[in-house]
Structure 1
């Protein structure tokens, strides 16, 4: 069973519109994420309903996933659901006294992913605890890179 919510937050010294410009540019996800090396966007500008093909990598292992944008509220929230494992990845922006609070999360409804995802996590990625620890570290890394880009 997957942890239902993995979440990290960072303070960014930039306005929500500046942070949004970085977060909503999904074609640049490979610059931020240590696992998702590329997001290929289908159908023009990103909006609710946009579909993507994601190329993920961990060491020598490379695998694709598909996603659909399920929330798109400029300067507030962007979320996409991974079709292949039913997880939802989201970015929530909240204005703060110094700029923007950015929260990234991975949600698994009821802690249940797909059978194939569960098997891969168990047999290939070293089990849930190890994999989710990597995801948490990856989220922190992603947020740090977004912060640097937004503050530049």
Structure 2
């Protein structure tokens, strides 16, 4: 698949963007259904939501992978503004992942997918990434590429009407 998302890294922030021919409500329904994140993200294998519907404060667990290597993470939803802003913090490394949605003049949505490190990355996470995932120099570009793939897959799903 050709990547249509634009991706960039500035300091410790990673960002990918894409325009989707669907309303913010349609895009919101997909990106906040974290149980389906394995369909969009090339790193996520499975997500288990702990409790009821996803909203601010909801906790969930992910099983992630890089090739044959698998590892769990846990997360908590830290922002939940319907049709606009959805963010969750990964407990193990303190990163914040988010999707911001902006309506476009043509009735579509401009989507920004970010990974921020407002409190830095935990020492344990840095150690594990260095030892088992190729180090930050390798892992960060891989994350950035995966963010673009995530947005491409969301766009393809919505625009194909599947």
- TM-score between both structures, scaled by the size of structure 1: 0.95
Q: How does 1:74-113 map to 2 (within 5 A)?
A: 74-98=82-106, 99-109=108-118, 112-113=120-121
Q: Name the SS of the counterpart of 1:86 in structure 2.
A: coil
Q: How does 1:9-24 map to 2 (within 5 A)?
A: 9-24=17-32
CA deviation string 1:84-110 (max 9, x = no partner): 000000000000123000010000125
Query: How far apart in 2 are the matches of 1:30 and 1:45?
Result: 18
**Count of paired positions:** 149
Residue 45 of structure 2 is aligned to residue 44 of structure 1:
no
| CA RMSD across the alignment | 1.0
CA deviation string 1:2-33 (max 9, x = no partner): x4200010000001111111111111000000
Query: How far apart in 1 are the matches of 2:116 and 2:142?
Result: 15
- Structure 2: tracts of 5 or more residues without a match: 1-10
1:22 and 1:149 in contact (8 A); partners too: no
Residue 131 of structure 2 is aligned to residue 123 of structure 1:
yes
Give structure 1 regions of 4+ aligned residues with deviation exceeding 6 angstroms: none
Q: Name the SS of the counterpart of 1:65 in structure 2.
A: strand
Query: How far apart in 2 are the matches of 1:118 and 1:34?
Result: 21
2:37 corresponds to which of 29, 45, 56: 29
- Which structure would you say has the larger RCO, counting Cα contacts within 8 Å and 6 or more residues apart? 1
1:69 corresponds to which of 35, 57, 77: 77
- Structure 1: tracts of 5 or more residues without a match: none
Deviation at 1:122, TM superposition (A): 1.2
